Structure 1
Amino acid sequence: MAARPPLDPSQPTHWILDWDGTITRRDSLDALVSIAASSKPNSPVLEEWKRVSEAYMSDYIAAMEKLAPGGKLPRTVQDEKKLLQALASVEQASLDRVSESQIFAGLTRKLLDEGAKSLIDSKKVEMRNGFAQFLKLRQSRGHDGLDLLSVNWSRHFISSCLRAAGAPVEKGAINANELGGIERDLVSNGKISPEEDAEMLIISSGDKLEHMARLRKPACESRNSSLDSSRPIVYIGDSWTDIECLLEADLGICIRDEPLGSSQRKLAERLQSLGIHCPHLHDWKKADERQVVWARNFTEIQAWMEAQQARKV
């Protein structure tokens, strides 16, 4: 792979951010399910959620035993992509189970809005340190672009959480799936589908990469992005599902806690197995040609940007 040109963070940049575990401190799917459970107290929502979760794990373990027997995982990026592509069928099967379970049937925008506010107020969904300030500064720069790219099941839920946290993002900049009916302000049928104006679900690493490629297109070709392809992309993510976007971006930033969460550890292990050096963001110039680094939160990312800009003055 040819080395990328140096990234200048003081220049117009297109930021693409994962949601669960990246903007939020923890995965929010359980929180989304809790809204459904609260809205239907006499329905077996939590039992159904446990059933589909256990079925997913069973499928995933079986698939990994078949695709990587003895835990022998890929050592090249090309083989890594093939493995992730093969695992997409596990994600699709799980999505089908969730839709068929009717866990989310009966939800409305109002219920999602109220549920999201309650979750934010109780800190069951919590934004990562520095995100609100990072977002405000990106929006104030004007020439920067920002998109969210998530495998989460409800774009409206993400939007509601951000509003409740005082960090609103234009809904058109949130690229995620949606519960059937919510886009049209109807009672949800419980099925998970693409956004109303999108062509495909976002359920896998490959899906995220394809959507990132679309966001990189010039404004005249891209549905959501306001930036042309000359703007460098910085992608921020935390899990294995983000690895292809992290590797393809002009700069990939892995979010890491101390100690590492399970998803963060999996991503760190895969990068190491692929021979990809991943220094801390402040040592970003020591990264290899893949340009992947790590940071603890958005406070660190903002401090790094300010340091780079100060050096240019």
Structure 2
Amino acid sequence: MAPMLSTAGPIHWILDFDGTITKRDTLNTLVNISAQNRPDSNVLAEWKRVSQAYMDDYKATMQNALPKDTHRPSTIASEKLILGITEEVERRSLDRVSESRLFAGLTGTILYEGARRAVETGEVQLRDGFQDFFRHVQDKQHAFHILSVNWSQRFIAACLHASGTVLPQKLSSVYSNELDGTEESMPSSGAIVPSSGNDSLIVSSRNKLSVLSHLREHEQTPIVYIGDSWTDFECLLAADLGICIRDDPMTSTQRTLAESLERVGVKCAHLEEINRIDHSAVFWTRDFHEVSAWLESPALAK
């Protein structure tokens, strides 16, 4: 990590989507789109079932990995081991979702229209300052990618488009997962598969790090990574500058990440302190207004 990153030169921005670009997680919105598309189905009941199965699996796995009297990890290496264990929980969850056919019948058009409605009603909202920040990125012709464990690349792009944000490379700017069939304009089987351009599913911190490393090989400019949750842990540390999004009060996912960083000794000061900190660190910010303020700081534009 390099806190004294110049904002005058090129920057490669890699951002998480849910809870980072958006104010809150959008998974329930994706489920609601499927329920609205099949009003006579049991989509919501199935979603409740697979959600409970996920929570039960996660709790049992964590209790097995970290018994009650065991100390939580205190090093980055040991934290990564725990994150690796949770990856298997996420994969089992995706298998349950695919088998339940929760998203069967959805098409790219249905996803687009559902995302548009969600933005219009305020169900999906971009974080404050994102659009001004994104205009700055475009004006400077900086590289920009979204890296997400979200289940639909097309849904992400549709939410942004409906919010007035058009990605320069459209879908190729988004690394996530996809609903099977939607890439061929066919009704989805409901299976969650790798999106176009990806060789494997993105469900974990390790998967995200693998994509970031791949992008770094092709774009030899400093990387700024922005995220809000535990799955962003490894990317925040691997980037030239890592920025955490934090609300006041913090959400449960933000708090998990904050506790993780603190536990392994990674300091996390507010972004406005970046030119006064003499050690490597991850920084935090409330919104993209504060990121833009950093970008416009004359102290760093050298």
- Structure 1 length as normaliser, TM-score? 0.92
Distance in 1 between residues matched to 2:196 and 2:267, nearest whole Å: 39
Map residues 257-268 of structure 1 onto 2, 5 A cutoff: 257-268=247-258
Look up the match of 1:283.
Answer: 273
Distance in 1 between residues matched to 2:223 and 2:196, nearest whole Å: 26
Structure 1 residue runs of 5 or longer lacking an equivalent are 219-227
Distance in 2 between residues matched to 1:113 and 1:311, nearest whole Å: 39
**Using a 3 Å threshold, how does the CA distance of structure 1 residues 164 and 64 change in structure 2: closer, same or farther?**
same
Look up the match of 1:126.
Answer: 125
How far 1:171 sits from its partner (Å)? 1.3
Distance in 1 between residues matched to 2:233 and 2:275, nearest whole Å: 20
Tell me, yes or no, if the aligned pair for 1:277 and 1:288 is still in contact at 8 Å.
Answer: no
**Structure ranking higher on relative contact order (CA contacts 8 Å, 6+ apart):** 2
Look up the match of 1:151.
Answer: 149
**Using a 3 Å threshold, how does the CA distance of structure 1 residues 286 and 95 change in structure 2: closer, same or farther?**
farther
Residue deviations 1:217-267, cap 9 Å, x none? 12xxxxxxxxx32x1000000000101000110100000001111100111
1:217 paired to 2:207: no
Tell me, yes or no, if the aligned pair for 2:6 and 2:301 is still in contact at 8 Å.
Answer: no
Structure 2 residue runs of 5 or longer lacking an equivalent are none
Name the aligned partner's letter for residue 66 of structure 1: N
1:55 paired to 2:45: no
**Using a 3 Å threshold, how does the CA distance of structure 1 residues 310 and 201 change in structure 2: closer, same or farther?**
closer
Aligned residue among 165, 168, 171 for 1:167: 165
Map residues 199-210 of structure 1 onto 2, 5 A cutoff: 199-210=199-210
**Using a 3 Å threshold, how does the CA distance of structure 1 residues 119 and 285 change in structure 2: closer, same or farther?**
same
Look up the match of 1:224.
Answer: none
Distance in 2 between residues matched to 1:86 and 1:16, nearest whole Å: 25
1:299 paired to 2:289: yes
SS at match of 1:279: strand
Percent identity of the aligned residues? 48
Tell me, yes or no, if the aligned pair for 2:13 and 2:224 is still in contact at 8 Å.
Answer: yes
Tell me, yes or no, if the aligned pair for 2:275 and 2:300 is still in contact at 8 Å.
Answer: no
Residue deviations 1:63-116, cap 9 Å, x none? 110111116321000011111111111000000000000010000111111100
**Using a 3 Å threshold, how does the CA distance of structure 1 residues 287 and 249 change in structure 2: closer, same or farther?**
farther
Distance in 2 between residues matched to 1:200 and 1:25, nearest whole Å: 27
SS at match of 2:243: strand
The farther-off stretch of 289-298 and 119-128 is 289-298
How far 1:287 sits from its partner (Å)? 4.9
**Using a 3 Å threshold, how does the CA distance of structure 1 residues 79 and 114 change in structure 2: closer, same or farther?**
same
How far 1:285 sits from its partner (Å)? 3.8
How far 1:309 sits from its partner (Å)? 6.4
Distance in 1 between residues matched to 2:259 and 2:211, nearest whole Å: 25
SS at match of 1:254: strand
- Structure 2 length as normaliser, TM-score? 0.96
Name the aligned partner's letter for residue 199 of structure 1: D
Distance in 1 between residues matched to 2:15 and 2:281, nearest whole Å: 16
Tell me, yes or no, if the aligned pair for 2:157 and 2:174 is still in contact at 8 Å.
Answer: yes
Residue deviations 1:185-212, cap 9 Å, x none? 1111100000133210000000000000
Name the aligned partner's letter for residue 12 of structure 2: H
**Using a 3 Å threshold, how does the CA distance of structure 1 residues 110 and 311 change in structure 2: closer, same or farther?**
closer
Distance in 2 between residues matched to 1:216 and 1:308, nearest whole Å: 27
Map residues 1-313 of structure 1 onto 2, 5 A cutoff: 4=2, 6-70=4-68, 72-142=71-141, 144-169=142-167, 170-218=170-218, 228-229=219-220, 231-287=221-277, 289-308=279-298, 312=302
Residue deviations 1:22-57, cap 9 Å, x none? 000000000000000000001000000000000000
SS at match of 2:145: strand
Distance in 2 between residues matched to 1:257 and 1:237, nearest whole Å: 12
How far 1:291 sits from its partner (Å)? 2.7
Q: CA RMSD in A?
A: 1.5
Look up the match of 1:223.
Answer: none
Distance in 1 between residues matched to 2:268 and 2:60, nearest whole Å: 30
Distance in 2 between residues matched to 1:310 and 1:4, nearest whole Å: 12
